[in-house]
Amino acid sequence: METTLRGVGVSHGVAIGEVRHMGTAVLEPPAKQIPADEAEREQGRARQAVEAVAADLIARGNLAGGEAQHVLEAQAMMAQDPELIADVDRRIAVGSTAERGVYDAFAAYRALLANAGEYLAGRVADLDDVRNRIVARLLGVPMPGVPDSDEPYVLIARDLAPADTALLDPTLVLGFVTEEGGPTSHSAILARALGVPAVVALPGAGEIAEGTVVAVDGSTGEIFVEPSQEKRAEMESASAARKAALSAVTGPGATSDGHKVPLLANVGGPGDVPAALEAGAEGVGLFRTEFLFLDDSKQAPSEEKQIAAYRAVLEAFPEGRVVVRVLDAGADKPLDFLTPADEPNPALGVRGLRSLLDHPDVLRTQLTALSRAAEGLPVYLEVMAPMVADRADAKAFADACREAGLQAKFGAMVEIPSAALRARSILQEVEFLSLGTNDLAQYTFAADRQVGAVSRLQDPWQPALLDLVALSAEAARAEGKSCGVCGEAASDPLLACVLTGLGVTSLSMGAASIPYVRATLAKHTLAQCERAASAARAADSADEARLAAQAVLSGE
């Protein structure tokens, strides 16, 4: 009998196939004592396993490329964390085996993060994956992972670690469903980059029996268990129609009555550029430069290294717009040379622009590198600061840009509610705003963006979040300046229409989402988008807002 489940759709498309579950293994080693004279040997085993796992993660990243590479390199750094390794050594010194020392050290760190309620708790799945890989190597057992199958299937897992998601074969993995995660988790971001339909935060997904046929709608978040032939035909027809609509609409983003809405790409470095160009991106709306810095957490990359990376992206968009976010370190992206090590809550501490203002030499080098990288290129360079809280922050950043001789527009990201509430004040110092809806939702609702249990509060359809978007867009319009969206909200085609109706002037997203957004915008007038935006803001919940906007745009 057909049943319907609903999670959070995070990657567009439809997948119909049999369920295969992520492989599991018992990875808790026995708690036994070793003689003192074996401690040094066990410590050596542990360190060899750590280095092997780190090397494997980096190798997987090199194979995957793009944003996945940056994620896996960051995970490799997690494996080599000096404090964790020191804790492993201490536990082995008092009698633990190598595998038990690793298991217990990671468990202690995991519990510390979870109990403290820190933002870094959002990386618990990544931490667990690193632990499992090290322990499995020490025990000599297979790693849990993507199942072997000659036939295409829908993958179901409690959560997917970046190392698994990055190397999914789209010809075999039709789509995936996870019990944990959220719309901005690593697995969701990488699924969009791969173009694989995906649904996350679906409690009970693991109870769907192996071999059961399911239909996954990565747009709506619906899962149909044992769908009828009619439901299959309906979904396949809708998917075919969607693909036809995508191929029929080309060119710059615009509503059906010609209102231009530039569609830009979010990139992490030169490796993400080919996909952006193939999708027809009109430029880059978010260049996440922190991935360049994550290559070595001990020191900032040289000015020359930065210039090379920036220029590779700038050259790809001649006469296009490239918006660069300066280093956003802290919280889930700590850097030893920049980030305080003893903050009780890094997400609410010294991160983003706050870190850079405390280390003006790092900011100055980056701004100088950007200036030099853009020399002689016909590109429209714009540079923005993360985590701007007020006018003083905006002024400090604009002053730093001028002092570095940067010939570009200076902007501020709106990720903190205070910035949205005082957007007009901030615009006295900068020339544009860019809404980072992922963090803006997190700080508005006090809901960690990586925790599945609070995913409903991370839903970008929340009317309170739309109110903050509207405030920012209205302030920009009043000042004659631009206000874009570069958070994951822009990747939802229906929500893209609502954002346009709220007055947002550009939309930036993962490359795979651009065709969907372009085709949907082209079907509606600006007036329809404005009515849909009003209807969504008048609702009392995210679900009601989505349905209200859908009703307006479908002409109901």
Active site residues: 186, 486
Beta strands in 290-391 (DSSP E): 321-325, 380-385
Cβ within 8 Å of residue 434, ≥6 positions away: 285, 286, 323, 384, 411, 412, 413, 414, 483, 484, 485, 486, 508
Q: Which of 242, 234, 29 is nearest to 136 (CA)?
A: 29
Do 556 and 52 form a contact (C-beta atoms < 8 A)?
Answer: no
Interior CA angle at 186 toward 185 and 187, to 5°?
A: 90
d(CA 553, CA 521): 10
What count of residues does the chain have? Answer: 556
Pairing of strands 14-21, 213-217: antiparallel
Pairing of strands 263-267, 3-6: unpaired
- Reduced to 3 states (helix: H, G, I; strand: E, B; else coil), residue 312 is helix
Q: Which residues of 437-470 are buried (b: 16+ CB within 10 A; e: fewer)?
A: bbbbbbbbbebbbbbbebbbbbbbbbbebbebbb
Do 319 and 378 form a contact (C-beta atoms < 8 A)?
Answer: yes
d(CA 26, CA 189): 28
Tokens found for residue 378? 């016909």
Phi-psi region of 263 (alpha: psi -120 to 50; beta: other; left: phi over 0): beta
CB atoms within 10 A of CB 397: 26
